[in-house]
Amino acid sequence: MNHHYESPASEVLNRGRGIIQTHRPAFWLYAILFVMGTVLGFAGLGSALANFSMTVGLAFVGTFMFAALVLWLLLQLTDLDPKPTSIIAAAFLGGAFITTAVVQFSSATLENVFSKLATDPAVSGALSAATGEEYYKALIVVLIFLVAPWWWRRPLDGILFGALVGLGFQIFEDIVYVSGAASVNTGSMGALTLFLDRVVLAGFFSHPVWTAFFGMGFGYAVTAVSESKTKRITAVVGGFTLAWAAHAFWDLPVLGTLAAGGPLQVLLYTVLKSTPFLLILIPLIIKAIKDERSFFHRHAQPEIESAVLTTEDVARLETFGGRIKARREPKGHQAQFKLNHLMRSQLDLVRLHMHDFNDSDLLEEQRAFIEKLKSDE
């Protein structure tokens, strides 16, 4: 039995729609920045790894496990319209290498500007870091859109790409900081403490959350084309403002004594610093998910009317919980694979409508493919 998923629609949906777009100037800009960022990033990482030890290595493993968990959650969040691996990787690696490298060139200038506005170095440093880092992460999000705009259908896509860029930046920054903490004075325990503080206790409330604010605003602006220009510009400005404010508030020396304390104090610091902005972001994400489901249901309607899909099929497909529950029902690996294959084929049929692939021959071929899978059950 072939355990590799494929269908007529999946091939068409992904063919030539990855990150390699040599006819687009934005691709070449991304490529040049990525090469420069990678060279600079590994050069800086090399010196940071001078104090590498088994403890540092374990901290690295924990950091990558955290990244894998967040990545899995993000992909499940947007599973109704999965993106190619190359696009996912480009957003993550762009945040990791391009942003961290470009920030180096402007950090001194920004610190000089904000030092004139705030005499406290901790305050000026927080403001300059939030400004530079959020600005350049936002540029990567925009660059991903310019390279592959067809993967932006709803605001939820903006949340995905914003969080991916933020996650890449955070993981690279954590690796550098953890390595640097393993100094002569603190040794391996310094690396372990920083790992626990930055990744375990505060990891879920850092760069992915902040850049998701901008991603949502930008995603709304480029997908809600029927809305007024004023409303769309306001969404972009508002998204960036929230990203900057959340980042700056996190870095500002407010409640600083908690951040310098033990694990419980750091956890309390994380809760107090992140809660105000999570109370804004979480309802926005819930609204975006509901909007995505409505968008999916609307494009599934023609297939319900043609009797290829039933209302039960669509209800099962359009929610994460419904898909998980359905996949657990069959007994045995082969039966589970068949059902998963059928569900993915049904999703891809709806995705053809979502992405405006209205070729009647292709739609009929995908419908016939689904009917064959049903008859093989």
Query: How does pLDDT run across 191-244, given as a tens digit for each residue?
Result: 777 888 788 888 888 999 999 999 999 999 999 999 999 999 999 999 999 999
Write the CB contacts of 206 (distance below 8 Å, at least 6 apart in sequence). 166, 170, 198, 250
Query: How does pLDDT run across 326-374, given as a tens digit for each residue?
Result: 878 777 788 888 888 899 999 999 999 999 998 999 999 999 999 988 8
**Contact at 8 Å (CB) between 178 and 195?**
yes
- Residue 252's identity, in one-letter code, is L
DSSP code string of 178-200: HHHHS-TTTHHHHHHHHHIIIII
Q: How far apart are the first and last CA of the chain?
A: 13
Nearest to 29 by CA among 164, 163, 146, 195: 146
Write the CB contacts of 17 (distance below 8 Å, at least 6 apart in sequence). 84, 148, 150, 151
The three-state DSSP-derived secondary structure of 51-113 is HCCHHHHHHHHHHHHHHHHHHHHHHHHCCCCCCCHHHHHHHHHHHHHHHHHHHHHHHHHHHHH
Nearest to 80 by CA among 6, 166, 153, 7: 153
The three-state DSSP-derived secondary structure of 264-281 is HHHHHHHHHHHHHHHHHH
For residue 41, the number of C-alpha atoms closer than 13 Å in the C-beta half-sphere is 24
Global pTM reads 0.92
Band of pLDDT at residue 182, cut at 50, 70 and 90: low
Cα 87 to Cα 161: distance, rounded to the nearest angstrom: 9
- pLDDT at residue 225, rounded to an integer: 92
- pLDDT at residue 165, rounded to an integer: 98
Write the CB contacts of 306 (distance below 8 Å, at least 6 apart in sequence). 367
Left if phi > 0, otherwise alpha if psi is -120 to 50, otherwise beta: which for 122?
Answer: alpha
Write the CB contacts of 230 (distance below 8 Å, at least 6 apart in sequence). none
- pLDDT at residue 217, rounded to an integer: 97
Over 70: is that where the pLDDT of 259 sits? no
**Contact at 8 Å (CB) between 286 and 307?**
no
Band of pLDDT at residue 47, cut at 50, 70 and 90: low
- Match 């850092």 to its residue by tokens: 206
**Contact at 8 Å (CB) between 36 and 93?**
no
Cα 121 to Cα 105: distance, rounded to the nearest angstrom: 19
For the ranges 144-158, 167-181, 211-225, the lowest mean pLDDT is seen at 167-181
